[in-house]
Chain A
Amino acid sequence: DVKVTQSSRYLVKRTGEKVFLECVQDMDHENMFWYRQDPGLGLRLIYFSYDVKMKEKGDIPEGYSVSREKKERFSLILESASTNQTSMYLCASKSPVDSPPSFGGYTFGSGTRLTVV
């Protein structure tokens, strides 16, 4: 089974700090994603990457950047954390569409709950 590991389960950071959220997958997948989850809003796409050093903005990229130096690792960076970035952050990896058992399904990490004070 694919495993997606997010380095921290809980984080508390101060306003203005630079924050790094790390995500690692073990299946050599090309596509990786960062979403944030807020009550009543579902999962909203921040950034995604379809190959090493390749990235695309999602729906809410403001205040965030990403880094993909190696295929297995996709990092989300909060340049200057603000209280409105307090949220659950979910990383996902996507299997190839011709690859069983999920044929293009996403595997999510357990999430990082970030609190900015």
Chain B
Amino acid sequence: GENVEQHPSTLSVQEGDSAVIKCTYSDSASNYFPWYKQELGKGPQLIIDIRSNVGEKKDQRIAVTLNKTAKHFSLHITETQPEDSAVYFCAASNRLTGRRALTFGSGTRLQVQP
């Protein structure tokens, strides 16, 4: 089955700096890669996703890149703000065949220092 590894487990940045979180996956058939943000006391919330036919996707200050050959994908947050502080999870699944449930990484706790 799919295995998703996520690094780093914790990340501290100064407000205004960029933050990068990296994930690798094992199943070459995976074709859907979402990122979730979990704030304290809440369930994870989808913030951006990318499909395997796209190499990069942007939404304002966040972007995700995908390298299918190397089987890794990354989340980039620019101009970080204190409200970006949260736990971020990457995930992967095969939307067409096999088990379609998401396999999640272990999470990254991002702290943005004012």
Q: Specify which chain B residues have a CB less than 8 angstroms from the CB of A48 in the assembled complex.
A: 101
Give the chain B neighbours of A107 by CB distance below 8 A.
Answer: 46
List, in ascending order, chain B residues with CB within 8 A of A103's CB.
49
Whether B44 contacts A108 by the Cβ 8 Å rule is yes
Q: What residues of chain A lie closer than 8 Å to B114, measured between beta carbons?
A: none
What residues on B are CB-neighbors of A56 within 8 Å?
99, 101
The number of residue pairs between A and B whose CB atoms lie closer than 8 Å in the complex comes to 56
Query: In the complex, what's the smallest C-beta–C-beta distance from B38 to chain A, in angstroms?
Result: 8
Task: Tell me, rounded to whole Å, the shortest Cβ–Cβ distance linking A89 to chain B.
Answer: 11
| A45 and B101 contacting across the interface, CB-CB below 8 Å | yes
Does chain B have a CB within 8 A of A11?
Answer: no
Binding site of B, secondary structure by majority: helix, strand, loop or mixed?
Answer: loop
Q: Interface size class for chain A?
A: 20 to 34
- Provide the main secondary structure of the chain A interface: strand
Q: Which of A42, A104, A108 has the most CB of B within 10 A?
A: A42
- Cβ of A100 within 8 Å of any chain B Cβ, yes or no, is no
Does A43 sit at the interface, judged by CB under 8 A?
Answer: yes
A40 to B106, CA, bound (A): 6
* Contacting residues of chain A (82-110) with chain B, CB-CB under 8 angstroms: 90, 92, 97, 102-110
Apart from A97-B95, A102-B46, what 4 extra A-B contacts exist at CB < 8 Å?
Answer: A33-B101, A42-B106, A104-B95, A106-B46
Residues of A within 8 A of B (CB): 4, 31, 33, 35, 40-45, 48, 56, 58-59, 90, 92, 97, 102-111
